[in-house]
């Protein structure tokens, strides 16, 4: 027991003392189901959760989980549910170290950090953020696309540097961007997020096509079973599919080369969907026209070669986040955990196969 090393605020557990009123509170607290909290600190989320659950939380997000599990005050067998985010892997060693684990709720839409095969083998049910983030991610994807095409961030730099005032106002000083209307946009993935992106870009007069494993029924956009064909027929590729073993580096050298010189890549999916080295090479050598990237292969960092490029917009994996969606997400996570502890079906269950 090394609890004294762990600051109290990380637990949200009752203090133990002999005040009878406090002991009553402590008993109330003990009735609450216990959850293992494996995500970045988030005081409002933790506060809301603590109304319904006892929260067991490592002293810092970087503490090795098995080490933490061997030192806290509860037996590992008492843990039946995990709340996690996309940043901490829920892998076989963690799952194995919790003999009674039966539920993982992730605050992410993506699932690539969870060993779903191991969950299936162990009968662990999994819930994700469902469609809570879809519209925020779609809004951001469109924002990145307008920004790259119309050079908004570059314009902002140009004005802030004082160059506009010194150099004049003509396009001979600051090159024009390119029109959205009529652009052929290829969506890689047409799930919740892809569909929301398509709906928005139609209002700008873009022409939408998509690639996915299967043709979507009832969808009028052109379907390309082959992603290179989609790329050669597109001015813009928007990467909006989940990261799986099949989709890792789905945007590779061949796709980028099919996309071509004046075209643009937007990635709001996961960094590893794109062969980042190849993307950097294509941007450096002018083999594609630009990129808007919210996600990267080695977060929290982005390739330094991109830092000085005028035709690239970089963002710290923020497409997903607005306070409004976080609020919705809190309630969804709590509802999923409550459903699990009540023996009810999850609200946003994930297929583990």
Residues that bind a copy of itself (CB under 8 A): 40-42, 87, 135-136, 139-140, 142-144, 146-147, 150-153, 155-156, 158-160, 162, 164-165, 167-172, 174, 176-182, 199-200, 202-205, 299-302, 304, 307-308, 313-318, 321-326
Annotated catalytic, 270? yes
Among 12, 39, 151, 317, the active-site one is 317
Please say whether the beta carbons of 200 and 190 come within 8 A.
no
Q: Which is nearer to a copy of itself, 79 or 142 (CB)?
A: 142
Q: Which is nearer to a copy of itself, 87 or 223 (CB)?
A: 87
Tell me how crowded residue 242 is: count the other CB atoms within 10 A of its CB. Answer: 17
Q: Which is it for strands 54-56 and 103-106: parallel, antiparallel or unpaired?
A: unpaired
Q: What is the three-class DSSP state of 337? A: helix
Q: Which is nearer to a copy of itself, 204 or 223 (CB)?
A: 204
Please say whether the beta carbons of 13 and 298 come within 8 A.
no
Residue 349 gets which letter from DSSP? B
- Using alpha carbons, select from 210, 245, 248 the residue that is nearest to residue 229: 210
Min separation Cβ 314 and a copy of itself, Å: 4
Q: Which is nearer to a copy of itself, 83 or 116 (CB)?
A: 83
Min separation Cβ 215 and a copy of itself, Å: 24
Annotated catalytic, 8? no
Q: What is the three-class DSSP state of 43? A: helix
Among 299, 305, 310, 324, the active-site one is 299
Q: Outline where the chain has alpha helix (H).
A: 20-31, 43-50, 65-69, 92-96, 116-122, 134-150, 152-160, 163-167, 192-203, 227-232, 253-259, 276-284, 323-341
How far is it, in rounded angstroms, from Cα 84 to Cα 87? 8
Question: Which residues are CB-neighbours of 295 under 8 A, at least 6 positions away?
Answer: 267, 268, 269, 270, 271, 273, 317, 319
Among 270, 276, 278, 297, the active-site one is 270
How far is it, in rounded angstroms, from Cα 333 to Cα 348? 9
Min separation Cβ 116 and a copy of itself, Å: 23
Task: For the chain, report the end-to-end CA distance as a whole number of angstroms.
Answer: 38
Q: Which is nearer to a copy of itself, 125 or 145 (CB)?
A: 145
Structure tokens at 346: 């999850």
Structure tokens at 284: 């450096």
Q: Which is nearer to a copy of itself, 98 or 235 (CB)?
A: 235
Q: What DSSP element (H or E) covers 312?
A: strand 312-314
Residue 233 gets which letter from DSSP? T
> What value, to the nearest 5°, has the Cα angle with vertex 216 and ends 210 and 218?
115
Q: Which is nearer to a copy of itself, 171 or 245 (CB)?
A: 171
Could you give the residue numbers annotated as active site? 270, 299, 317
């Amino acid at each position: 027991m090394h609890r004294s090393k762990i600051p109290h605020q990380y637990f949200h557990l009752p203090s133990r003392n002999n005040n009878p009123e406090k002991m009553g509170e402590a008993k109330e607290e003990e009735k609450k189901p216990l959850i293992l909290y494996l995500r970045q600190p988030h005081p409002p989320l933790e506060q809301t959760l603590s109304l319904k659950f006892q929260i067991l939380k490592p002293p810092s997000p970087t503490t090795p989980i098995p080490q933490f599990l061997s030192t806290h005050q509860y037996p590992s067998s008492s843990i039946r549910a995990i709340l996690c985010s996309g940043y901490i892997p829920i892998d076989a060693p963690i799952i194995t170290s919790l003999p009674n684990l039966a539920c993982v709720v992730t605050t992410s839409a993506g699932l690539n950090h969870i060993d779903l095969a191991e969950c299936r083998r162990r009968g662990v049910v999994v819930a994700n953020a469902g469609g809570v983030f879809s519209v925020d991610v779609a809004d951001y994807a469109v924002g990145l696309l307008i920004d790259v095409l119309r050079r908004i961030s570059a314009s902002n730099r140009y004005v802030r540097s004082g160059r506009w005032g010194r150099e004049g106002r003509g396009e001979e000083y600051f090159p024009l961007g390119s029109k959205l209307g009529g652009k052929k946009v290829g969506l890689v993935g047409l799930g919740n997020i892809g569909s929301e992106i398509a709906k928005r870009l139609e209002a700008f007069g873009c022409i939408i096509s998509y690639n996915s494993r299967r043709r979507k029924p009832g969808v009028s956009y052109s379907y390309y079973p082959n992603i290179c064909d989609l790329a050669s027929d597109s001015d813009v590729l928007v990467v909006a599919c989940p990261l799986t073993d099949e989709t890792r580096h789905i945007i590779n050298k061949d796709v980028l080369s099919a996309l071509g010189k004046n075209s643009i890549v937007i990635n709001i999916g996961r960094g590893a969907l794109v062969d980042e080295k190849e993307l950097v090479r294509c941007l450096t050598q002018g083999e594609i026209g630009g990129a808007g990237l919210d996600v990267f292969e080695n977060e929290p960092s982005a390739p330094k070669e991109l830092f000085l490029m005028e035709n690239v917009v970089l963002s710290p994996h923020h497409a997903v986040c607005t306070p409004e969606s976080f609020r919705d997400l809190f309630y969804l996570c709590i509802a999923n955990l409550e459903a699990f502890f009540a023996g009810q079906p999850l609200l946003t269950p994930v297929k583990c196969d």
